[in-house]
Amino acid sequence: MKAFNQLLSIAKRKTHFDNQHSRIDEYRRYLTAIKEEVDEVVEELPKNRQCYLEDELGDILWDYLNVLTSLEKEIGLDTETVLKRACQKYEQRMSGLEEGKKWADIKEKQKKALATEHALTQK
């Protein structure tokens, strides 16, 4: 996880740099780049070139972290909360599967909980 935290720190520096140079809506550019990088991963998979695949997957991670840090700066999104929410979500899903529950049932329950959370924040 040390490498992940280091990359996140670099992405935060990049966001700070972009903001100093009047770059707005940077996250939109990174979202587009993620789509392009996913295509590059798909192209790379059948070539059996691990170093290239790792490089392309790293690009996706880089662009994703830049989306997070850009949105953190632009709209106040909390990167730590996003990561915690992902851990909770997928822990629930994996635990449910291990307990014999159906994937669709787990997801439906999570969707309902998310809708309830959203409704509570709108009051």
The pLDDT tens digits for 52-76 are 999 999 999 999 998 998 888 888 9
SS3 label, residue 18: helix
Q: With bands split at pLDDT 50, 70 and 90, how would you rate the model's confidence at 28? A: confident
Angle, alpha carbons 104-109-115 (nearest 5°): 125
- Helices marked H in 1-102 — which ranges? 2-20, 26-44, 50-75, 79-98
Domain ranges of the chain: 1-77, 78-123
26 close to 18: Cβ distance less than 8 angstroms? yes
27 close to 71: Cβ distance less than 8 angstroms? yes
pLDDT digits (tens, 9 = 90+) for 75-117: 899 988 998 999 999 999 999 999 999 999 999 999 999 999 9
Q: What is the dihedral of CA 89, 94, 96, 97, to 10 degrees?
A: 140
- Which pLDDT score is estimated for 51? 97
Give residue 3's identity as a one-letter amino acid code.
Answer: A
Higher pLDDT pick, 83 / 51: 51
